[in-house]
Amino acid sequence: MEAATNLHDILCADDVATWFGVDRKTVYNAASRGKIPCQRLGKRVLFSRPALVAWLACESGSARRMEAQNERTTR
């Protein structure tokens, strides 16, 4: 049963686009530039839900650190 749950953690570009609320071309573009974590399997680009969640958390933390740094330098 656990394996079936893990299959839901593998997403295609359309799934990621729907989840993020962007066009699938945006997802493919970000993947090709190495901006979001993905794996290629032949011509397919696959995404791991846990990897994307971790990436979002990391990016969010980076954005907060940059905001704090900008706030300190503009005072």
Domain ranges of the chain: 2-73
Q: What span, in angstroms and rounded, lies between the C-alpha atoms of 72 and 55?
A: 26
Strand partners, 45: 40
Categorize the per-residue pLDDT at 7 as very low, low, confident or very high, splitting at 50, 70 and 90: confident
Is residue 1 over pLDDT 50?
no
Categorize the per-residue pLDDT at 6 as very low, low, confident or very high, splitting at 50, 70 and 90: confident
Q: Which fold has domain 2-73?
A: Arc Repressor Mutant, subunit A (1.10.10)
pLDDT score for 67: 58
pLDDT score for 8: 83
Segment 31-45, tens digit of pLDDT: 999 999 999 999 999
pLDDT score for 4: 45
Query: Torsions phi, psi of 48, nearest 5?
Result: -100, 125
Q: What span, in angstroms and rounded, lies between the C-alpha atoms of 11 and 52?
A: 10
